[in-house]
Amino acid sequence: MSADRLKADLVESGTMGRVSPIRVERRGDLDPKNGLTRPAGTQENKKIRDYAVRRMKEAGLEVQIDEIGNIFGRKKGSKTNKGTVMVGSHLDSVINGGMFDGALGVFGALEAVGRINDEGFENERPVEVVAFTGEEGSAFHVSLLGSLVLIGNLELDKALGMKNDEGITLKDALEAIGHRGNFHRSLDNVEYMVELHIEQGPVLDKEKISIGILENITGMTWVTATIEGEENHAGTTPMRMRADALVAAADIIRFVHKRVNEMVSEFDGSAVATVGKLNVFPNGINIVPGRVEMGIDIRDVVEKNMRNLTQEIIETFKSIEDKYYGVRTNVEISFIHSPTPLSEEVARIIEESTEKAGVTAKRMNSGAGHDAQNMAKKVKTGMIFVPSVDGISHAPTEWTNWNDIENGVKVLTQTLKKLSKT
Ligand code: GLV
Ligand code: MN
Ligand code: MN
């Protein structure tokens, strides 16, 4: 049974990158302390990449890896003049993440192509399963990296030269795991892109709806900053003579939380902002903190609001320099992904596919970033969401029920069939 084939892929890939390699088949098997960590270019990332390549080859696809490590598995079409339909997602993960984010979109795409093959369905357009490099940004500090290079919005050399926290470049990391290819994938002959993904929020689960059909994907900016104070003795340095980098950082954290809440109530807005990363140096109980590194994630579907909030946060860094004597800040914008509308044509085809499959569906936006938002800038792109139990994601307890996954793959398969003959 093909539903079993996809379940086997997700359970198997769900062992890759776990602290202790348990197999999770039921929600009750999840361990909140034992998530998946497989950032781009790591040995754990290699495991799932090698597995995906093997499964693509077993499905009869022609596999190629491009210069930034994106993996493509191609099934030829019967009409050589028609542009390709791409379908897929990513295989890297956040730190201590869950087993469906990204993996569902890649193995679900493989399953949909498997079903097309099993049926003997003749696709006119080529169908290409894709696994993008470094979607999460958890290693190289820029998210949606592989698709950003693919669409030409980030130079290949610049991306390959980016360093992870160990100072290793993406180029070296990809070479070390055998996933830096030499294929150059142009998008000239690509017509459509579809991504199946878990919702990662509570809406479908709460409303008991099987499928989300996406209209827009949120904009997203990361601000990274270093606050330099003066490392000194916690006992002998008088309160008025210290430059405490962590106290200054606390002002920023407060400001971010307070200001974004104000904005949301002011315009009934959709902005969110999170200080999710904080490294304190030297991190000793009896030492005045000398340096703090921070990472701030800022998102909104309204670009102007996202940019204004980012600007206000950057200005707040300047104000703490005046407030805390001796503190210096260095603030950078790592990237700005604009909010992106998806293709109405593809959304309508997904909608028809849900009707054909007899499953409930609703139109919605995504508050998570996806490679589809880059692809949408170049080709007609759509996204299909399936419910996340309790809306949990980017956490070890991320879960989607197998019957919801089956509904998602049914809709994806039908959508691909339609697109491949359009
Ligand atoms: C990517 O998954 C993001 O939304 O952070
Ligand atoms: Mn994610
Ligand atoms: Mn994802």
Task: Dump pLDDT digits (tens) for 335-384.
Answer: 999 999 999 999 999 999 999 999 999 999 999 999 999 999 999 999 99
Q: Which ligand is nearest to the CA of 367?
A: 1
Phi, psi at residue 128, to the nearest 5°? -125, 115
Share of the chain above pLDDT 90, in %: 95
Q: Which atom of ligand 1 is nearest to the CA of 102?
A: 2
- Cβ-count burial of 308 within 10 angstroms (0-12 exposed, 13-18 middle, 19+ buried)? middle
In short, whether 416's Cβ falls inside 6 Å of ligand 1 is no
From 90, 141, 143, give the residue whose CB has the most ligand 1 atoms within 8 Å, as the site to mutate.
143
pLDDT at 195: 98
pLDDT for res 324? 82
pLDDT range class, residue 177, cuts 50, 70, 90: very high
3-class secondary-structure state, position 352: helix
Can you tell me the distance from the alpha carbon of 204 to that of 50, in angstroms, rounded to the nearest whole number? 33
Condensed to tens digits (0 to 9), the pLDDT of residues 93-125 reads: 999 999 999 999 999 999 999 999 999 999 999
Average pLDDT over residues 163-182: 97
Residue 368: count of CB within 10 angstroms of its CB: 18
Q: Which two tokens stand for residue 133?
A: 């490099």
Task: Write down the mean pLDDT value for the chain.
Answer: 96
Q: In 3-state terms, what secondary structure has residue 287?
A: strand
Query: How does residue 197 score in pLDDT terms, banded at 50, 70 and 90?
Result: very high
34: left (phi over 0), alpha (psi -120 to 50) or beta: beta
Contact 273, 324 (CB under 8 A): no
149 lines ligand 1 (CB under 6 A): no
The torsion region of residue 40 among left (phi > 0), alpha (psi -120 to 50) and beta comes to: beta
44-53, 141-150, 212-221, 259-268: range with lowest mean pLDDT: 259-268
Query: Residue 1 pLDDT more than 60?
Result: no
Residues in the chain: 422
Given this model, what pLDDT does residue 269 score? 83
- Cα angle for residues 138, 389, 203 (degrees, 5° grid): 90
Q: Does any ligand 1 atom lie closer than 6 A to the CB of residue 92?
A: no
Report the C-alpha gap between 360 and 202 in whole angstroms: 16
pLDDT of residue 21: 80
| Ligand 1 atom with the shortest distance to the CA of 297 | 5
Largest pairwise CA distance in the chain: 78
Q: Is the CB of 369 under 6 A from ligand 1?
A: yes
pLDDT of residue 80: 81
DSSP 375-412: HTTTSEEEEEEE--GGG--SSTT----HHHHHHHHHHH
Neighbouring residues of 403: CB distance < 8 A, sequence distance ≥ 6: none
Tokens of 200: 């990662």
- CA-based torsion, 12, 13, 19, 24: positive or negative: negative
Distance CA 72, CA 216 (A): 25
Collapsing DSSP to helix, strand or coil, 236 comes out as: coil
For residue 136 and ligand 1, the question of a CB distance below 6 A is answered with yes
User: Quick one: how far is CA 383 from the chain centroid?
Assistant: 13
**Over residues 211-228, mean pLDDT:** 97
Q: How far apart are CA 250 and CA 125, in angstroms?
A: 54
pLDDT band for position 205 (50/70/90)? very high
| DSSP of 19-72 | SS-----SGGG--TT--B---TTSHHHHHHHHHHHHHHHHTTPEEEEBTT--EE
pLDDT at 327: 95
Give the percent of the chain with pLDDT over 70: 100
Whether the CB of 368 sits within 6 Å of ligand 1: yes
Q: Using CA atoms, how far apart are residues 325 and 216, in angstroms rounded to an integer?
A: 44
Distance CA(120)–CA(271), nearest Å, equals 46
Residue 268 pLDDT > 80: no
